[in-house]
Amino acid sequence: MALLSRRREEEDDDEDGRHRVQIVVLGDIGRSPRMQYHALSIAKHSGQVDLIGYQDSDLHPGIRAADNINIFPLSTFSDAFKTNNRRLFLVLGPLKVAFQIWSLWSALYLKGRRAHWMLVQNPPSIPTLAVALIVCYLRNARLVIDSHNFGYSILALKLGRGHPLVRVSQLYEQSLCRFAHAHLCVTDAMARTLREDYHITSPVLTLHDRPASTFQYMDSAQRSAFLDKLPESVLAHEDQPYGSEMVDAIKNGKIKLLVSSTSWTPDEDFSLLLDALIEYAEDSRQSVEAILPHLLVIVTGKGPQRAAFETRVADLDARGSLPNVTIKTAYLNSIDDYAKLLGCADLGISLHTSSSGVDLPMKVVDMFGAGLPVIGWGDFEAWPELVKEGSNGMGFKSAAQLKKVLADLFGQDPKVLMKLKRGAMEEGKRRWDHEWDPVAGVLLGLVEQKKEKRRRG
């Protein structure tokens, strides 16, 4: 302890640290766009960034290009120890946490440079918050927790809300959050929860997700050019060799392109989407009054439940249960290609159900950035903060409602969908920099509050 205290005193005099921010993601950095946007914004304002996390997928091009952003990769826990078995999880879970504690400690303290600020993504809260607090104490740094959701609510999806480990996790998270210097959160509803249920007395600031400049509306020429280059692996169908014919059909509106992105985790129920598409397909086969268009549904992302989804889709196709519907899964390594895919689509779909009820899916923000209207699961408190019913999107609470929304948007007056698109384009004008500067920029001392007030005025 004497050695640690002496090192802490020595590092108090390190002035370089006052311009440095450690950003901590106990997850894949490439699949954490909000934390990458934080890094880019800090770097834009001449701050030094050490970005700590797993490197399993491609990073934002700006991260690689920035001279003042350094990547410190975390060691990964072997996939051989991953399991969906609840009993094995209770044994292997603590082993994984112990490994993560050492990995974080090594990256943040033993190898990491002194920083005046540490910005931590939550969840996961175990063991991130505990290690971060210890390092911040020893380094005399200020901890800012950026809450995207609550860790215990995600654990409850696996173990059940009444499980003792879930209650311990909730107590751990609520207790440690009180020691942070400040909090950022993605919704006003989450901010209220932190103040009222977590009894946080330090600053709690809402920093809504906004799209980065990569996500833009595409005109007809840009849309046509990207559709011509859409990878064959996305459009290919086992029984229907689509190619240029499908592309032409998308361009002229005979086929409607729907896109959904996911991490394939339990808080997104894609069986609901399949049930709705089965009903839609049946209606399109029997409908006489309204001719429903063919739907091409592309679900992007990778994760633990993707294989089961693909197996069910193949089974439905084999049984002829999806006439007039084509479903494909894909993973786009390039964020630029993903942004363009959204720009080409007719409709975005969100199946995010919110384990806590107070978080919001960033995928919807990206869709708005591309001028894409969104329909999504809307049965949780924070949904109206982002999606305005009938203006930029629509919500549903069941497979039957989802099918009805699809039929209404594509089978009746096209003016309804055009109205939603105009609303999405308007919402997409609100960008990350305009949201970040007056909130996180001022908090971190990188943006002068007086200047920001003048700019907003």
Least confident span in 65-79, 205-219, 370-384, 394-408: 65-79
Q: What is the mean pLDDT of residues 182-190?
A: 97
pLDDT per position as a tens digit, 124-154: 999 999 999 999 999 999 999 999 999 999 9
**pLDDT > 90: percent of the chain:** 69
Q: Does the pLDDT of residue 91 top 80, yes or no? A: no
Cross-strand bridge partners of residue 206: 185
Q: Given CA atoms 385, 389, 392, 395 in this order, what sign does their dihedral have? A: positive
Q: What pLDDT does 18 receive? A: 63
Q: Which residues contact 270 (CB under 8 A, 6 or more apart)?
A: 262, 299, 305, 309, 351
CB neighbour class for 141 (10 Å; exposed up to 12, middle 13-18, buried from 19):
buried
For the chain, what is the largest distance between any 2 Cα atoms, rounded to a whole number of angstroms?
A: 82
CB neighbour class for 288 (10 Å; exposed up to 12, middle 13-18, buried from 19):
exposed
Q: Does the pLDDT of residue 80 top 60, yes or no? A: no
Mean pLDDT estimate for the chain: 88
pLDDT per position as a tens digit, 375-427: 999 999 999 999 999 999 999 999 999 999 999 999 867 899 999 999 999 99
Nearest in space to 422 (alpha carbons), one of 372, 387, 376, 385: 372
Q: State the pLDDT confidence band at 232, using cuts at 50, 70 and 90.
A: low
In this structure, the number of other CB atoms found within 10 A of the CB of residue 16 comes to 11
pLDDT per position as a tens digit, 307-325: 999 999 999 999 999 999 9
Q: Does the pLDDT of residue 219 top 70, yes or no? A: yes
Q: Which two tokens stand for residue 156?
A: 């409850």
Q: State the pLDDT confidence band at 452, using cuts at 50, 70 and 90.
A: low
CB neighbour class for 3 (10 Å; exposed up to 12, middle 13-18, buried from 19):
exposed
| Residues 298, 341 contacting (CB under 8 angstroms) | yes
pLDDT per position as a tens digit, 254-298: 999 999 999 888 889 999 999 999 999 998 887 655 688 999 999
Least confident span in 51-55, 158-162, 229-233, 282-286: 229-233
Q: What pLDDT does 457 receive? A: 46
Q: What pLDDT does 86 receive? A: 64
Q: What pLDDT does 167 receive? A: 95
Q: What pLDDT does 39 receive? A: 97
Phi/psi for 276 (5° steps) reads -65, -40
- Specify the pTM: 0.86
Q: How far apart, in whole angstroms, are the C-alpha atoms of residue 6 and residue 457?
A: 47
Q: What pLDDT does 79 receive? A: 64
Higher pLDDT, 96 or 326: 326
Cis peptide before 266 (omega within 30 of 0): no
Q: What pLDDT does 5 receive? A: 43
Q: What pLDDT does 424 receive? A: 96
